[in-house]
Structure 1
Amino acid sequence: MHLWKKTTAALVAAGIMLLSSVLHPGMAAAATKNNSAYTYPQDSVPQVIQGMSPSVVGIAGKLTGGMYTEDRYNLSHGSGVILSKDGWIVTNAHVVDRLSTIQVVTSDGKTYQARSVFSDDVSDIAVVKINAKGLKPAVFAVTSQNAQVGEKVAAIGTPISFSLRNSATVGVVSGLNRSIDSSYRLIQTDTAINPGNSGGPLVNMKGEVIGINSMKFSAIGVENMGFSIPSETVGYVVKQLIQYGEVKRAGLGLSLEESFSAIVGFPSEDPLQVTDVTSLEAIQAGISKGDVLYAINGKRVYSIVDINEMLKLYAPGTKVKLLMQRDGDIVSVPLVLSSGINEPVEDAEWEEEVEV
């Protein structure tokens, strides 16, 4: 009788293990490995976050100017990503602008004072230098254009409170090449991004930073609409900030009006119209108010953002060819690029932009 009970119990236990291994492939094998942290299958998210977290920092400082000066408790904070072992860090310009005595806190709890800060308001990118050695730099994707809409991404940063450093949220890439109140295109994501996440990374499941989190939309009925600055724009700006302390942009020296379709986001083949000529180089090229711009060096442009994205490839003083319409004729106009940035147009008023 006792032998029957033992045999039955053994068979039931074996059956449960077999059923578990069928319902959860790899579970039984994982359970036998004492050195495994999990007893169930995992995707790559925990590993990606663990790998990236040492490269993410918290940034805090006291706000300066106006009513903030006398309030010693009025601190502002954000996030940053380590660029180099010796202490270069990238963050948002709006994180460090108007801050004094900037403190950087690494994931292991060490605190450093910022020694140098270079900021670029146009791109909303800044770099901070601390005196440190042996930091873990993040891996940045060469381009965010290899990302796919719907692919999983994670955001890491310091939301709401500085005590919540290295918090992680997970979502997907919602869209690429978004033109949202910015001089350059942005990545859209539904990953939760809250105040304090600014300057932190948007990370793909390869462990690469594809963007720096910058802003979100906040309004009644609007949910999960965050935006990140693509890695290629980050690289373009960071390189110049570290080298020159500023971004030396090439500009057309023209004020241009976009079509209504381009402004509101409808597909558009409409060109841009010159409303003013603002540089000596453009005047010397014979461009005048009322001319119409179709292309730069053979590539069509439909919006101000299109132009700014293209001009990232050129330095001031470079000669380009503009395809334009003048007095009804299509003409090719040689133009020496001046210094400056083409300003973006205003976006629709229903959306409330919030820097995070």
Structure 2
Amino acid sequence: MSTPVEAALESPDDVIAERRHLTNLAYRLLGSPAEAEDAVQETYARWYALSRERRAAVDNPAAWLTTVATRVCLDQLGSARARRERYVGEWIPEPLPDRTEWGLSDPADRITLDESVNMAFLVVLEAMTPAERVAFVLHDVFRYPFADIATMLGRTPAACRQLAASARRRLRAARTTPPSTPGRAALIRDFKEAWEAKDIDALLALLAPDATLVADGGGLVGAVLRPLEGATRIADYLLFIATKAPALTLLERTVNGTPGLVAQNAGRTVTVAAFDLSDTRVTRIWAVRNPEKLRAWQWGEEDGNVMPGTGTDTASAEE
């Protein structure tokens, strides 16, 4: 007969089942699927580094894993801020695809696409201090009580409540539009068609006068290094791109849970654009071009498979 310790170790399903939750939490804290995966891997490494007796003595493995993952992410956030100060150009969180739109399977640890991962929301999170971000995400997104958050952060519940309140003020100041805004998909479609037609009047009608475009090339591909402000500057830039790269194909795709656009060249994704709206106009565009952030948008490049819906061999496609 197994001892209680052995029985606990022979039934690890409750521990493994936490992987999806931890991945979702880590992405919202870090803004990068790769960094989130690293944080989750580190969390499990620490769990399995415990002795058999210490693992069996943990009353609530899920809470233990969440606490450790949060602390790992908090450490990463501190180092990430230093790395991003040296980043070439603007830094945008890594965009997430809806894999079902490409006819691909959805693994159990796939990040859930909801309003807490839309690009506007993540960009505001980036402006928060690491402690604010952790307190806000844990409480307002995942509904952890401040008493639990205090244990994870090593602060008092009152201090954690103040951190979350400060984060909410930042979010309100950003005035982001809820991702469920009616007509969002139709507006993005109109924007795509105006861009394809090189119709500057139509683009200007769809862009708010004070609209902003931010591009992230990471110094690896061409991209504007500073935000473009104003509808006219953005429309002129988009027409320049359309003229310079006439072979680009624009696809309507879900980006971080909301309607966005994907630009492909010979079947290979070269840009993913997310949008924020106000009424019937585009107020902000985030264009991710850094190829290291577009790996989740490429399929079949390693083995020469065809990308869903393109009929193109992506292994030989060039930007």
TM-score normalised by the chain length of structure 1: 0.22
Higher strand proportion (structure 1 or 2): 1
Tell me which structure has the larger Cα radius of gyration. Answer: 1
Higher helix proportion (structure 1 or 2): 2
TM-score normalised by the chain length of structure 2: 0.23
